[in-house]
Amino acid sequence: MAGAAAKERRVIRVLLVEDEEIHRVRARALLRDAAGGVELGEAGNGAEAVRRVREGGAYDLILTDRQMPVMDGHEATRQIRALGVTTPIVGLSSDSLAADADAFIKAGADDFTPKPLSKEKLNRILAKFNLA
């Protein structure tokens, strides 16, 4: 019965913005296991994420790291919001002080989750934005 329920879930499109391979590998595995179906786009820095969105990438969720080369997650979030995109954006960072969360929210993110991403954290994010 659980398999049938998983098949009924819709496919969600997620953009993962992360420069470190270990975090991408973990997120891929968690997304594959947590959702009924995921189409995963990846960007290695904020500038690449903004380009993907600007070129018509439509996503149900954007997960973005804070500290990356070229463009950080805060600036990428600001630029994606400036494009008029209302997709939920969740900031991720190894730094988990309240100031880190506040900086993401001020940049336009909808939520913040400290790394490492876990099954529980991902399930909370998906539930919060009605994606699970």
Domain with residue 18: its CATH number is: 3.40.50.2300
The answer to the question of residue 121 being in a domain is yes
Find out whether 78 and 86 touch, Cβ atoms under 8 Å. no
Find out whether 115 and 93 touch, Cβ atoms under 8 Å. yes
Q: How many domains does the chain have?
A: 1
Residue 64 is predicted with a pLDDT of 97
Q: Tens of pLDDT along 19-67?
A: 999 999 999 999 888 756 888 999 999 999 999 999 988 999 999 999 9
The answer to the question of residue 52 being in a domain is yes
- CA distance linking residue 93 with residue 103, whole number of Å: 11
The answer to the question of residue 71 being in a domain is yes
Q: Tens of pLDDT along 76-119?
A: 999 999 999 999 999 999 877 788 899 999 999 999 999 999 99
Question: Domain limits at 34?
Answer: 14-127
